[in-house]
């Protein structure tokens, strides 16, 4: 699968993030795989997010999300429910 991903792109380097990128043994295994391919590619881990900016992003996202959620909830709670009455169907 790794070769299939790397071949069409012809990368100069592969950066692995997420759960795989945080495991040095996984990075080593991926790098070893690419060393044995016709086009060896250096592999590196994405830099883990620093705790301060990550915390600030999470707080900012929460602060932005809260008014949107409150607005959506209030719009659905105050909207009158429109249900046709039986005599408005036009049927005899």
Instruction: State whether 13 and 36 are in the same domain.
Output: yes
Q: What is the mean pLDDT of residues 1-11?
A: 57
Distance of CA 68 to the CA centre of its chain: 20
- The domain total for the chain is 2
Mark out the alpha helices in 14-90 (DSSP H runs).
Answer: 18-21, 24-35, 51-78
pLDDT in tens, 45-78: 887 666 777 778 888 888 888 777 777 777 665 5
pLDDT in tens, 35-45: 888 888 888 88
For residue 28, the enclosing domain spans 2-45
In a domain, residue 90? The reply is: no
In a domain, residue 81? The reply is: no
- Which one is predicted more confidently, 59 or 92? 59
Instruction: State whether 56 and 22 are in the same domain.
Output: no
């Amino acid at each position: 699968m790794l070769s299939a991903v790397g071949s069409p792109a012809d990368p100069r380097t592969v950066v692995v993030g997420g759960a795989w990128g945080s495991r040095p043994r996984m990075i080593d295994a991926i790098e070893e795989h690419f060393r044995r391919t016709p086009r060896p590619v250096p592999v590196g881990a994405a830099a883990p997010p620093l705790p301060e900016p990550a915390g600030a992003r999470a707080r900012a996202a929460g602060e932005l999300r809260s008014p949107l959620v409150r607005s959506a909830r209030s719009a659905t709670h105050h909207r009158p429910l429109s249900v046709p009455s039986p005599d408005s169907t036009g049927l005899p």
